[in-house]
Amino acid sequence: MKFEGKVAIITGASRGIGKALALRLASEGAAVVVAAKTAEPHPTLPGTIHDVVREIVAIGGRAIAVQVDVRDEQQIENMVSETLRAFGRVDIMLNNAGALFLEPVENTPAKKFDLVMGVNARAAFLCSRACIKPMREVGGGHIIMMSPPMSDKGVGKTAYALSKFGMTFIAQSLAEEVRADNISVNALWPVTAVDSQATRTFWPGMESEMRTPDVLVDATVCILQKSASELTGQALYDEDVLRANGMTDFSKYSLVPGSSPSAFSKDLMK
C-alpha cells in the first residue's frame, strides 16, 4: 500500500491511461479523484467517470467522480474543492487529459490550435496552480505532466508539439518555484506508442508497435515514490525511469505478445 493516506487527482481518467492510473493508485491505497468530461455513456467511446469509480470501489478502494472540462478554470477550481471536501487533502496531481491534432500549420484552424493549447498546456497550468496551496498545507506533493522532453530540433505537428512542450516547460519551471515546499514536478512520456483510444484512432493497425498503459503506470509509481529532493524538474521517458529502478525486460508491456515495439513516439510521434 505505497500510497496509503494519499489523495490523487487524475484528469482524463474515464478511460485509457488515466483509468489505468486511477485503478493502480487506488489499489496501492490512494483515495482517487476520477476527473474527466465523460459522465454519461458515449455512443462510441467506452467508459465514464462513474464506471471507473465503481471499479475502484469493487477492489476495495476509495474514489469520487468529478466531471470537469479542463478548459474551464472554474471547473478546475471546483474539482480541487470537491477533492478537499471529500478527502481533506491533495497529494498527487496527474495532468493526463490530452487533445491530439497532428496536422501541419497550414491545415490547423485557430479553433484546433486553441483546443490543443487549452486541453494540454493551459489546463496543466491551471490544474497545477490549483493544487499548490493544498499540497503546501500537507507538507508537499507530486505533480506529473504527461508530456515529452523538450526537443532542440523541429518535430512537425506544430500546434500539438507546442502544447505538449508547453506542459514540459511548466513542469521544469514550476519545479523551481515550489522546490522549497517539497512539491515535486516532473514530465513523463512513453518511448513508444501506448494503447489508448487516441492511439488507435490516429494509428490504426499498429498494435504490434504499442505497449499497454501499464508501462506508464509503473513509471508513474516509481516517480511518485521519490521526494522533491530526489527528483524534480525532470522530463523523463518511461523506459529510463524503469531502468533506473532495475527493470531490463520490457516485453511484458507489449500489447501484442512476442512483438518488440520500437521507439515509435520518442520524437513526439513524428
172 found inside a domain: yes
Active site residue 237: no
- What average pLDDT does this structure show over 80-107? 96
Which residues, 6+ apart, have CB-to-CB distance to 45 below 8 Å?
15, 38, 197
CATH code of 69's domain: 3.40.50.720
Overall size of the chain counted in residues? 270
Q: Is residue 270 scored above 60 in pLDDT?
A: no
Predicted confidence at residue 154, as pLDDT, reads 65
- What average pLDDT does this structure show over 70-78? 98
Compute how many other C-beta atoms are within 10 angstroms of the C-beta atom of residue 42. Answer: 13
Predicted confidence at residue 45, as pLDDT, reads 81
Query: Residue 128: which pLDDT band, with cuts at 50, 70 and 90?
Result: very high
| Pairwise pLDDT comparison (216 vs 44), residue with the higher score | 216
Predicted confidence at residue 201, as pLDDT, reads 76
Q: Is residue 155 scored above 90 in pLDDT?
A: no
Please count the structural domains in the chain.
Answer: 1
Q: Is residue 263 scored above 70 in pLDDT?
A: no
- What average pLDDT does this structure show over 11-22? 96
Is residue 35 within 8 Å of residue 11, measured between CB atoms? Answer: yes
224 found inside a domain: yes
Q: Is residue 200 scored above 90 in pLDDT?
A: no
261 found inside a domain: no
257 found inside a domain: no
35 found inside a domain: yes
245 found inside a domain: no
203 found inside a domain: no
Q: Is residue 98 scored above 80 in pLDDT?
A: yes
Helix (H, G, I), strand (E, B) or coil at 249: coil
Q: How far apart are CA 136 and CA 130, in angstroms?
A: 11
Annotated catalytic residue within 160, 165, 189, 264: 160
CA 203 from chain center: how many Å?
Answer: 20
Tens-digit pLDDT profile for residues 210-262: 999 999 999 999 999 999 999 999 999 999 999 999 999 999 999 888 777 76
- What is the pTM assigned to this prediction? 0.94
Q: How far apart are CA 25 and CA 10, in angstroms?
A: 10
Query: Residue 268: which pLDDT band, with cuts at 50, 70 and 90?
Result: very low
Is residue 127 within 8 Å of residue 167, measured between CB atoms? Answer: no
Mean pLDDT score across all residues of the chain: 93
Residue 218 structural domain: 7-190+213-240
72 found inside a domain: yes
